[in-house]
Amino acid sequence: MQENLRRESSFGKRVIAIVSQIPYGMVMTYGQIAAIAGNARAARIVGGIAHYGDSKLPWHRVVNRSGGLASGFPGGREYHKKLLMSEQVEFEIDKNGEAVVSLVEHLWIPEK
DNA sequence: AGTATGACATAGC
DNA sequence: AGCTATGCCATAC
């Protein structure tokens, strides 16, 4: 019970709560999660929790500001892309030629 | 116990 | 318009 709550402070708990509530076929950006959690500048923390404190949260539904997955993901971006494609998430090609999630269609906003 | 790095983002120059 | 600098919390060493 509390063992999975006492790992982080209120910010981390909020991040975990938000990420764990991302519905199927939806994605969120680190910055948005951080902003909702209370610190728009703490986007790194979201990633930090993801890397170290990750438990069972759908981090594959969490993307960076570009709409693509951040670096360091297990399996690489192609695995991530395949994963989201399995959830019927649509991808778009940005100017850099990189596959990014169509945030306009798949960006999920909690409380809404 | 203190320092360093990190799955990012925003502002400033 | 592109690069540098700073902010944030948590985990690792």
**Three-class secondary structure of residue A6 per DSSP:** coil
Decide: CB of A45 under 7 A of nucleic strand B: yes
Model pTM score: 0.90
Distance A99 CA to C5 C1' (A): 29
- What pLDDT, on a 0 to 100 scale, did the predictor assign at position A6? 53
- What pLDDT, on a 0 to 100 scale, did the predictor assign at position A81? 92
pLDDT digit of tens for each residue in chain A (112 aa)? 544 445 677 899 899 999 999 999 999 999 999 999 989 999 999 999 999 887 789 999 999 999 998 888 888 888 999 999 999 999 998 888 888 999 999 999 987 6
Question: Strand C-proximal residues, CB under 7 Å?
Answer: A 7-9, 11-12, 39, 41-45, 48-49, 52-53
- What pLDDT, on a 0 to 100 scale, did the predictor assign at position A3? 46
Q: Which residues pair with A91 in a beta bridge?
A: A101
- Quick one: which H or E segment has residue A11? helix A10-20
Strand B footprint nucleotides (protein C-beta < 7 Å): 5-10
Of A11, A17, A24, the residue nearest A61 (C-alpha): A24
- What pLDDT, on a 0 to 100 scale, did the predictor assign at position A50? 92
Q: Are A80 and A73 in contact (CB under 8 A)?
A: yes
